[in-house]
Amino acid sequence: MAGEEKTEKATPKKRRDQRKEGNVLQSKEIVTAVSVLGMFTAMRLLLGFIAQTILSFYTQSFEQIGSTQVNTDTIMSIFVDVITVVVITVLPVCLIAMVLGIIPTIAQTKGLFTMKALKPKFSRLNPLSGIKKLFSLQSIVGILKGLIEVVIIAVVIYNEISARLPKFVALMNAGVMQGITYAALTIYDMVMLICIMLVFVAAADFLFQWWQFEKKLKMSKQEVKEEFKQMEGDPQIKSKIKQRQQQMAAQRMMHDVPTADVVVRNPTHYAVALKYDQDKNNAPQVVAKGKDYLAQRIVAIAEENDVMTIEDPPLARSLYSMVDVGREIPAELYNAVAEVLTVVYREKHKTLRA
């Protein structure tokens, strides 16, 4: 029902269907935190190499400008050197940041790749839906999260610069390289501190996204029932199919009753038809069995076709409960059935002699 409350957890089938549509649990804050943290860690590890490469480039460039005439070839050579330095210093950091951005995405989506999420949805163009999203819990949490991040960044920058301000003043009399190195390390320390604090924000965002995701997947009791019907089949239809199968099986049994050697009965509640073919079977076989009305039908058909019936209530009940149609009797019933078949064969022999 459309207005029914969704209180049931999502079934495995619905989770699989949603995953196929590209709807998976994912927190972008975790991706951002890991990527930025990894990028600046890589920059810190490569700081010496980056600084040495840039310093060598500047030294070489100024020497080239001072020793040669500035022309188009000189400018092109310096431009090529600039591109080379940028690639050598920036590309490794960017690659590390990209890889560290992909890893948490793969970890959260479990390697899901689908194009369905990229398909245009015209429902997104609905202005009413857009207004609802502006005042949704997701939007409010997003605004609060952004404010928290801004406050964290502002507080960290203010505290770090305030604490290091005397050192910055003292560096005015130091060398340029020393000042650049200290400034770079200061920026690194601030970024790392910000990233560490943002990791906690990302963890909180992941919990919120998980809660929202599970809430979105919840199903109503009617939806669970409908899904069960789709997977298992409508119980009414299954009941009719089972009933039809039973009717067909009963018809086959009735068709085989005339071929039986004997029908063991009790006297009206149970009836089991037995057949023994020494060339095909190792033991007598149950070709039909029934209870109540079906038992009476078996007995009637047997009598119509001159199949001998014998009343043996204990044996009839045992055969009915222990042996399925088409199966041979178990070893524990051999003696009892043998006695019955002996009577049958003796009667047949008398009839033939007569």
Considering the domain architecture, whether residues 261 and 325 belong to the same structural domain is answered as yes
pLDDT at residue number 1 = 46
**Pick from 200, 229, 258: which residue ends a domain?**
229
What is the per-residue pLDDT across 279-304, written as a single tens digit (0 to 9) for each? 787 889 898 998 888 888 888 998 88
List C-alpha distances in Å: 48 to 81, 183, 184. Answer: 19, 14, 11
Same structural domain, 208 and 254 = no
pLDDT digits over 50-93, tens only? 777 877 877 777 666 666 666 677 677 777 878 888 888 888 88
Structure tokens at 21: 């549509």
Q: Rounded to an integer, what distance in angstroms lies between the CA atom of residue 288 and that of residue 211?
A: 59
Supply angle C-alpha 208, 209, 213, rounded to 5: 120
pLDDT of the residue at 185: 79
- Strands of the 285-291 sheet, one edge to the other: 285-291, 270-275, 262-265, 308-311
Among the three residues 229, 259, 274, which one is the final residue of a domain in this structure? Answer: 229
Residue 328 lies in a domain: yes
Q: For residues 139 and 187, state if they share a domain.
A: yes
Give CA–CA dist 132/142, Å, rounded. 14
pLDDT of residue 122 exceeding 60, the answer is no
Residue 271 has pLDDT above 60, yes or no: yes
Give the angle 83-195-36 at the CA atoms, nearest 5°: 30
Per-residue pLDDT, 272: 92
Return all residues near 193 (Cβ < 8 A) that are at least 6 apart.
156, 160
Highest mean pLDDT among 78-82, 122-126, 259-263: 259-263
- Residue 127's pLDDT is 59
Q: Pick from 229, 247, 280: which residue ends a domain? A: 229
What proportions of the chain, in percent to the nearest 5, are helix, strand and coil? 75, 5, 20
Rounded-to-integer distance, Cα 76 and Cα 195, Å:
40
Do 28 and 71 share a structural domain?
Answer: yes
251 and 220 fall within a common domain? no
Short-list 255, 289, 248, 251, CA closest to 270: 289
Whether 150 and 250 map to the same domain: the answer is: no
Using one digit for the tens of pLDDT, what is the confidence trace for 308-319? 888 888 888 999
| pLDDT exceeds 70 at position 125 | no
| 227 touches 13 (CB < 8 A) | yes
Tokens of 56: 């060598």
- Residues 140 and 162 both lie in one domain: yes
Q: Clarify whether residues 208 and 253 are in a common domain.
A: no
Instruction: Please check whether residues 165 and 182 belong to one and the same domain.
Output: yes
pLDDT score for 150:
85
Count of structural domains, the chain:
2
Confidence band, pLDDT 50/70/90 cuts, at residue 277: confident
The C-alpha atoms of residue 233 and residue 169 are separated, in whole angstroms, by 80
What tens digit of pLDDT does each residue of 305-351 get? 888 888 888 888 999 889 888 889 888 888 988 888 888 888 777 66
In a domain, 5, yes or no: no
Amino acid type, 343: V
The domain in which residue 59 lies consists of: 12-118+125-229
Judged against a pLDDT cut of 60, whether residue 2 lies above it is answered with: no
The verdict on 213 and 347 lying in the same domain is no
DSSP 181-202: HHHHHHHHHHHHHHHHHHHHHH
Q: Between these two residues, 115 and 256, which has the higher pLDDT value?
A: 256
Q: Which residues contact 77 (CB under 8 A, 6 or more apart)?
A: 64
Res. 352: pLDDT tops 60: no
| Alpha-carbon dihedral angle through residues 196, 197, 199, 202, given to the nearest 10 degrees | -160
